[in-house]
Amino acid sequence: MRIVVGITGGIAAYKAPELVRLLKKQGHEVRCAATAHALEFTTRATLETVSGAPLYSDLFASGGTEHISLKDWGELLVVAPATANIIGKVVSGIADDALSTLLLAFSHKPVIMAPAMNSDMWAHPAVQRNIETLRGWGIRLVGPAEGELACGTSGTGRMAEPETIAEAVNSLFLIPHSPLGRWLVTAGPTYEKIDSVRFIGNYSSGKMGFALAEALAEAGAEVELVTGPTHLNATHQRINVHRVESAREMYAAATGLFPQCNGAILSAAVADYRPAEQADHKLKKQGDEGMTLTLVQNPDILATLGTMKQPGQRLVGFALETDNELQNAEGKLKRKNLDYIVMNSLRDAGAGFGVDTNKVTILGADGSRMESPLMSKQEVARMIVSTVAP
């Protein structure tokens, strides 16, 4: 595997050469990217020697496009240590040096971060908010560990050991013993913010998506479950939950996770539109005047994954229809490059949002068609998994 190791300016940067050595020993190709502050704790010569490749640390050294060529070369980006500064930059979309620019360019490929900072910094609400955002985007976090810190205190904030990070790299790409491998599932609604207390949403409970995640895990798959706001919790140990709120957050998480998955089932009820402007305070009523909201279109997650799909990957969508059900579902199946589409109709009693049962028709790109009677969503999920998973 081709891995880029990013090093930032924390004291734990001195451990980066050992991480590179371990990854090379395991058979990976490694190149390094470092911030200017990282080179206060380790050296260019050391990193180039252990990696066997030139260090990327100057954004403009080769015409300012190395972040693109390195992104194209690399299959995985590991940032160790990941300081509060680089975490904040990624969440805010700031690209003002070599590594932060590379991180933003890596938006559709897997990223692992090993946070390292003082325990008070780690506990700060801003850092914790940023960490939750990274998790929602599908970025894997390793650590931090608890122990002695460089400042002389003890607490949570110590970078995970190089051996632990190397194990996380390999476990991310290990093919499970089950032939199902790793699957992405989306579930629940999305909330599109109007102001600090109001949002546009829908009635999805997330029950169908969570049932699908459980059915895949029971069948042996490793599951990445990206869910909008729900009150549900996954119970199976092979389900990794990523909680998001808006359609754009779900888009970022799904597109980031899909390249490392064998398949995806997108059952979330994603809002097609969001308010063009979102107030950070409660909007007050203006007399008897009404409120006019201008809506703009959200990114189409299913269509984007359809363009990203590689040979061997399976992509399954859902279609909740109210009229011309089969015609609309078949059109969506072809238009978005799906392998299967699961159609249910709001005309069927006991099917749809908020209930514990469902009734579906599974349409395949090969022309196959399978209908279910009204069953529990767990039974429907098992039927879907047995049909769409190889």
State pLDDT tens for residues 189-231: 999 999 989 999 988 999 999 999 999 998 889 999 999 999 9
Q: b/e for 177-202, b at 16 or more Cβ within 10 A?
A: ebebbbbbbbbbbbbbbbeeebbbbb
Indicate the helix (H) or strand (E) that contains 4: strand 2-7
Answer whether 271's CB lies under 8 Å from 192's CB.
Answer: yes
- Give yes or no: residues 150 and 123 share one domain: yes
User: Is there a single domain that holds both residue 136 and residue 218?
Assistant: no
The span from the CA of 337 to the CA of 26, in Å, is 37
Last residue of a domain, one of 132, 152, 173: 173
More confident residue, 128 or 69: 128
The pLDDT, as a whole number, for residue 333 is 94
What is the count of structural domains for the chain? 2
The model's confidence at residue 22, banded by pLDDT at 50, 70 and 90, is: very high
Whether 151 has a pLDDT exceeding 80, the answer reads: no
Q: What is the pLDDT of residue 175?
A: 41
Q: Are residues 222 and 160 in the same domain?
A: no
d(CA 151, CA 196): 39
Q: Which bin fits 90, alpha (ψ -120 to 50), beta or left (φ > 0)?
A: alpha
Residues 14-23 have a mean pLDDT of 93
Active-site residue, 151 included? yes
pLDDT of residue 172: 65
CATH number, domain at 322? 3.40.50.10300
Asked if 306 and 279 sit in the same domain, the reply is yes
Which one of 173, 198, 220 terminates a domain? 173
Counting residues of the chain whose pLDDT is more than 70, the rounded percentage is 92
The whole domain housing 188 covers 182-388
Instruction: Choose one of 149, 173, 197: the last residue of a domain.
Output: 173
Give me the numbers of helices (H) and strands (E) for the chain, helices first please. Answer: 13, 21
CA distances from 37 to 43, 44, 55, 83, 127 (A): 11, 12, 14, 11, 20
- Cβ atoms of 390 and 179 closer than 8 Å: yes
* Confidence band, pLDDT 50/70/90 cuts, at residue 177: very low
Per-residue pLDDT tens over the stretch 331-342: 999 999 999 999
Burial of 308: CB neighbours in 10 Å, binned 0-12, 13-18, 19+: middle
pLDDT score at 354: 65
Neighbours of 160 (CB within 10 A): 23
CATH number at residue 72: 3.40.50.1950
Among all chains, which residue has been given the structure tokens 């359609």? 247
The active-site residue out of 1, 95, 151, 355 is 151
Q: Looking at the predicted structure, is the pLDDT value of residue 352 above 70?
A: no
